[in-house]
Amino acid sequence: MDGATRPKYRIVSYRRGISVSVFFSGGIRNTAAALDVLRTRVFVESAGDRREHPNVAVVFLHARSADETATARAASLARRQGITLLVVGVTDNVRATELESIASYPARYNVFRIPNYYSFVNIHDGLTRAACNRTCLD
């Protein structure tokens, strides 16, 4: 694995029965490689994944992927592995079609758009509802 896809920052926590992993890969905009890392290195038993709990990833894109076709293919593999993909498009530099090709179905509930990272507070509640979607325990 090259330096562009090796996680440099990682948090794994278990809260309310949900495994949450966050990492920053740095490097180029190789969204496909980042999704492959989620599928093969983050949401796996050897990394602490628990089969009985849902896997939810929030993918932030602030620019178009280097290879949109490879990104759509990697997202499809992740979804087939049972990873729910919520996608946040930051700025207008990301095409809606790319966001929708990554997000879990139905995309209208799993794609969010914000003009900048400071606007994250505006989608926090909707993102939380989408992430929980009957998986959070009260």
Q: Is residue 103 part of a domain?
A: yes
Write phi, then psi, for 53 (nearest 5 degrees).
-115, 145
- How confident is the model at residue 112, as a pLDDT? 94
Q: Is residue 37 part of a domain?
A: yes
Angle (nearest 5°) at CA 25 between 116 and 68: 70
Q: Is residue 137 part of a domain?
A: no
**Residue 53 sits in a domain of what CATH number?**
3.40.50.410
Per residue in 49-84, pLDDT (tens digit) is 888 888 888 898 888 888 999 999 999 999 999 999
Domain count, the chain: 1
Q: Is residue 123 part of a domain?
A: yes
Q: Which domain holds residue 106?
A: 9-132
Q: What is this structure's pTM?
A: 0.78
Q: Is residue 95 part of a domain?
A: yes
Residue with tokens 């890392």: 37
Q: Is 22 helix (H, G, I), strand (E, B) or coil?
A: strand
Q: Is residue 2 part of a domain?
A: no
Q: Is residue 98 part of a domain?
A: yes
Q: Is residue 3 part of a domain?
A: no
Per residue in 77-105, pLDDT (tens digit) is 999 999 999 999 998 888 999 999 999 99
